[in-house]
Amino acid sequence: MFGRIAQLLIKEFLQLKRDKSARFRLLIPPILQMLLFGYAATFEVFNVATAILDQDHTQESRALVAAFVHSSRFEVTTVAATRKEIENAVEVSNAQVAIVVPPGFSELLLKGQSAPIQVLVDGTNSNTALIALGYIGEIANSFGQAHALDLAQRSGRALGQPLVHVDVARRYWYNPNLNSRWFFVPGVIGTLVLVTIVNLTAFAIVREREVGTLEQLLVTPIRPVEFIIGKTLPFFFIGLVEVSIVAGVGMLWFKIPFVGNPFLLLAGTCLFLLGTLSIGLLISTICTTQQQAFASNFFVLNPMFILSGFSFPISSMPHVLQWLTLLDPLRYYLIIIRGTFLKGVGIDYLWPQMLALATIGLILLTLSVMRFRKSLD
Partner 1 sequence: MMAAQSAPAIVVDKLGKRFGTFSALDAVSFDVRRGEIMGFLGPNGAGKSTLIRVLCGLLRPSSGRAVVSGIDITQDPEAVRKRIGYMSQKFSLYSDLSVVENLRFFGGIYGVCPGAINERIRFAVDMAGLQGRETSLVSTLAGGWKQRLALGCAILHKPDVLFLDEPTSGVDPSSRRRFWTLIHELSAGGVSVLVSTHYMDEAEYCMRIAMMAAGRLVALGTPRELRQQSIGGELLELECANIGAAMDLVAKIPGVHDVAVFGDALHLLVDDGAETARAACALLAEHGLPGASARQIAPSMEDMFVHLVRTARAQGAAAGT
For residue 84, give every residue at least 6 positions away whose Cβ sits within 8 Å of its Cβ, in sequence order, or none.
none
Q: How far apart are CA 67 and CA 136, in angstroms?
A: 10
Our CB check for partner 1 shows the closer of 182 and 227 to be 227
Cβ at position 6, least distance to partner 1 in Å: 8
Our CB check for partner 1 shows the closer of 221 and 318 to be 221
How buried is residue 187: exposed, middle or buried, by Cβ count under 10 Å (0-12/13-18/19+)? buried
Give the count of beta carbons closer than 10 Å to the beta carbon of residue 117: 17
Cβ at position 233, least distance to partner 1 in Å: 16
Cβ at position 4, least distance to partner 1 in Å: 6
Cβ at position 211, least distance to partner 1 in Å: 6
Cβ at position 11, least distance to partner 1 in Å: 5
Q: How far apart are CA 179 and CA 250, in angstroms?
A: 14
Residue ranges binding partner 1 (CB under 8 A): 3-4, 6-8, 10-11, 14-15, 18-19, 211-213, 215-223, 376-377
Our CB check for partner 1 shows the closer of 56 and 226 to be 226
Cβ at position 333, least distance to partner 1 in Å: 33
Q: How far apart are CA 132 and CA 74, in angstroms?
A: 8
Closest CA to 92 of 113, 78, 75: 78
* 86 Rama class: left (phi>0) / alpha (psi -120 to 50) / beta: alpha
Our CB check for partner 1 shows the closer of 83 and 223 to be 223
Our CB check for partner 1 shows the closer of 7 and 366 to be 7
Our CB check for partner 1 shows the closer of 219 and 320 to be 219
Give the count of beta carbons closer than 10 Å to the beta carbon of residue 213: 12
CB 101 within 8 A of CB 56: yes
